[in-house]
Protein backbone atom coordinates (compact mmCIF):
# COMPACT_ATOMS: atom_id res chain seq x y z
CA UNK A 1 0.00 0.00 0.00
CA UNK A 2 1.31 3.44 -0.90
CA UNK A 3 2.02 5.76 1.98
CA UNK A 4 4.40 6.54 4.82
CA UNK A 5 5.87 3.70 6.85
CA UNK A 6 7.37 4.24 10.28
CA UNK A 7 9.33 1.78 12.39
CA UNK A 8 9.22 0.82 15.17
CA UNK A 9 5.65 1.34 16.37
CA UNK A 10 6.58 1.17 20.04
CA UNK A 11 9.86 1.62 21.90
CA UNK A 12 10.97 1.91 25.50
CA UNK A 13 14.37 3.42 26.18
CA UNK A 14 16.38 4.05 29.28
CA UNK A 15 17.65 7.57 29.88
CA UNK A 16 20.87 8.09 27.96
CA UNK A 17 20.27 5.39 25.38
CA UNK A 18 20.25 6.21 21.69
CA UNK A 19 17.97 5.08 18.91
CA UNK A 20 16.90 5.89 15.38
CA UNK A 21 13.33 6.16 14.18
CA UNK A 22 12.93 5.14 10.58
CA UNK A 23 10.55 6.63 8.02
CA UNK A 24 10.05 5.76 4.36
CA UNK A 25 7.57 6.95 1.75
CA UNK A 26 6.83 5.51 -1.65
CA UNK A 27 4.92 8.43 -3.18
CA UNK A 28 7.94 10.16 -4.72
CA UNK A 29 7.39 13.16 -2.44
CA UNK A 30 10.14 15.73 -2.16
CA UNK A 31 9.42 16.98 1.35
CA UNK A 32 9.47 14.98 4.56
CA UNK A 33 8.85 15.95 8.17
CA UNK A 34 9.17 14.72 11.73
CA UNK A 35 6.64 15.83 14.32
CA UNK A 36 6.13 14.99 17.96
CA UNK A 37 2.72 14.90 19.58
CA UNK A 38 2.20 15.65 23.24
CA UNK A 39 -1.14 15.95 25.07
CA UNK A 40 -2.74 19.37 24.68
CA UNK A 41 0.00 20.65 22.38
CA UNK A 42 -1.00 19.35 18.97
CA UNK A 43 1.87 18.35 16.72
CA UNK A 44 5.15 20.26 16.83
CA UNK A 45 7.68 20.17 14.04
CA UNK A 46 11.07 18.76 14.98
CA UNK A 47 12.94 18.73 11.67
CA UNK A 48 12.02 18.75 8.04
CA UNK A 49 13.64 18.07 4.71
CA UNK A 50 12.37 20.12 1.79
CA UNK A 51 14.22 17.95 -0.69
CA UNK A 52 16.79 15.21 -0.88
CA UNK A 53 20.07 16.43 0.55
CA UNK A 54 18.61 19.23 2.70
CA UNK A 55 17.42 19.31 6.29
CA UNK A 56 16.26 22.16 8.51
CA UNK A 57 15.27 22.68 12.10
CA UNK A 58 11.66 23.03 13.08
CA UNK A 59 10.11 24.31 16.26
CA UNK A 60 11.62 21.80 18.73
CA UNK A 61 14.91 20.39 17.32
CA UNK A 62 16.98 20.17 20.50
CA UNK A 63 18.06 16.63 21.36
CA UNK A 64 17.43 15.28 17.85
CA UNK A 65 19.29 14.77 14.61
CA UNK A 66 18.00 13.74 11.21
CA UNK A 67 19.28 12.19 8.02
CA UNK A 68 17.67 12.34 4.62
CA UNK A 69 19.24 9.16 3.33
CA UNK A 70 17.63 9.38 -0.10
CA UNK A 71 14.37 10.64 -1.52
CA UNK A 72 12.40 7.86 0.16
CA UNK A 73 13.89 7.79 3.64
CA UNK A 74 14.12 10.31 6.46
CA UNK A 75 15.36 9.12 9.84
CA UNK A 76 15.23 10.75 13.27
CA UNK A 77 17.93 10.02 15.83
CA UNK A 78 17.95 10.51 19.56
CA UNK A 79 21.59 10.47 20.65
CA UNK A 80 20.97 10.48 24.40
CA UNK A 81 17.32 9.96 25.25
CA UNK A 82 15.71 11.98 28.03
CA UNK A 83 12.33 11.50 29.76
CA UNK A 84 11.18 14.77 28.16
CA UNK A 85 11.40 13.01 24.81
CA UNK A 86 8.64 10.61 25.78
CA UNK A 87 6.10 11.29 23.06
CA UNK A 88 4.42 10.00 19.95
CA UNK A 89 6.46 10.71 16.84
CA UNK A 90 4.94 11.12 13.40
CA UNK A 91 6.67 11.20 10.09
CA UNK A 92 4.96 12.87 7.14
CA UNK A 93 5.63 13.54 3.51
CA UNK A 94 4.26 16.15 1.14
CA UNK A 95 3.90 16.39 -2.60
CA UNK A 96 4.33 19.42 -4.77
CA UNK A 97 2.07 22.45 -4.99
CA UNK A 98 0.83 25.15 -2.63
CA UNK A 99 -2.24 23.25 -1.49
CA UNK A 100 -0.82 19.77 -1.27
CA UNK A 101 -1.70 18.08 1.98
CA UNK A 102 0.51 15.82 4.00
CA UNK A 103 0.45 12.06 4.34
CA UNK A 104 1.27 10.85 7.83
CA UNK A 105 2.72 7.62 9.09
CA UNK A 106 0.98 5.70 11.85
CA UNK A 107 3.36 6.96 14.53
CA UNK A 108 5.99 5.68 16.94
CA UNK A 109 5.13 5.69 20.63
CA UNK A 110 8.37 6.28 22.53
CA UNK A 111 8.75 6.05 26.29
CA UNK A 112 11.98 7.09 28.00
CA UNK A 113 12.32 5.86 31.56
| Min CB(13)–another protein separation in Å | 20
DSSP structure string for 46-71: EEEESSTT--EE-S--TTEEEEE-SS
Strand partners, 71: none
Residues 27-86 within binding reach of another protein (CB under 8 A): 31, 33, 35, 40-45, 48, 50, 56, 58
C-alpha 88/C-alpha 102 separation (Å) is: 17
Q: How many residues bind another protein (CB under 8 A)?
A: 25
Binding site for another protein (CB under 8 A): 31, 33, 35, 40-45, 48, 50, 56, 58, 90, 92, 94, 98-102, 104-107
Amino acid sequence: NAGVTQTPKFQVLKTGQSMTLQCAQDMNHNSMYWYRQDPGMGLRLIYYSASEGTTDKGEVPNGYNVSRLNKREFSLRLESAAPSQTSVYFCASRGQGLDYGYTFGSGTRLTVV
